[in-house]
Amino acid sequence: MRLIRDNSLTIVLMLLFAGTIIGQWIAGWHVAIEDAARHGRSALSLTAYTASPRFLSSVFENWESEFLQMSAYVVLTAILIQRGSSESKDPDTPPRDRNLAAQAQKPGAPAALRAGRLARALYARSLGIVLALLFLLSFVLHWTQSARAAAEEALDHGEAAPTLIAYLGDPQFWFESFQNWQSEFLSTAVLVVLSIFLRQRESPESKPVAAPHAQTGE
């Protein structure tokens, strides 16, 4: 079917997402069962584990880092250059998005470009804005669920549970964040540099196989 062909990349990625988050969910539940047995506690049901701060914190901890990487990448590639990389715009070509008011009249141009200067300015940056908002939402959910998990653990050990605000300054929270953030920025930098010299046939993330190393952009 043409609909499947035209949307196959999204379909396959979402199927991979579904499979891996289910794997995380089931494996994490078994880890929680083993942990409860070691501490002489009753095990959580799968339903209870799904709503537990331990599971939700681990999910949003990873989503947070991914949305940070993508929002930073989208914005930085609009400003900065890496000559020879397929992931960079070519510094020797004129700006692609000049005079958007005139470009708004082209057939098929998004209607938002004809809705006034403010709408045009927001739409022209909408991808970076939405990715940044998804990062902030994931960050808040990671923070609040990690704080809940830390409070439960503290109560299990007869200690005072940290407040939500106090947990924002907890080293554990920032350890969880930075251990993911650093890997995202490293992998992005590696992709930018490797795409100068290496190729992937027919991929839009790669330059044409026969393109010279100095060619910048797709």
- The pLDDT of residue 143 is 96
- The pLDDT of residue 161 is 83
Which of 45-54, 99-108, 153-162, 174-183 has the lowest average pLDDT?
A: 153-162
Same domain, 42 and 118: no
d(CA 212, CA 207): 9
Q: What is the pLDDT of residues 112-151, one digit of tens each?
A: 888 888 998 998 999 999 999 999 999 999 999 999 999 8
> What mean pLDDT is predicted for residues 68-95?
92
Give me 213's structure tokens: 């190393």
Same domain, 34 and 97: no
Asked if 164 contacts 144 with a C-beta cutoff of 8 angstroms, the reply is yes
d(CA 156, CA 173): 19
* Entry pTM: 0.91
- The pLDDT of residue 25 is 96
Same domain, 17 and 57: no
Same domain, 60 and 163: yes
Give me 54's structure tokens: 């331990």
Asked if 84 contacts 216 with a C-beta cutoff of 8 angstroms, the reply is yes
Q: How many CA atoms lie within 13 A of 51 on its CB side?
A: 3
Same domain, 9 and 77: no
Same domain, 63 and 98: yes
Same domain, 92 and 186: yes
Same domain, 76 and 167: yes
Q: What is the pLDDT of residues 19-73, one digit of tens each?
A: 999 999 999 999 999 988 887 778 889 999 999 999 999 999 999 999 999 999 9
Supply the range of the domain harboring residue 182.
Answer: 53-218
- The pLDDT of residue 19 is 97
Q: Cα-flanking dihedrals φ and ψ of residue 55, to 5°?
A: -70, -50
Same domain, 6 and 102: no
Same domain, 205 and 99: yes
Say whether pLDDT at 156 is over 80. Answer: no
Same domain, 83 and 184: yes
Report how many domains make up the chain: 2
Same domain, 137 and 199: yes
Say whether pLDDT at 89 is over 80. Answer: yes
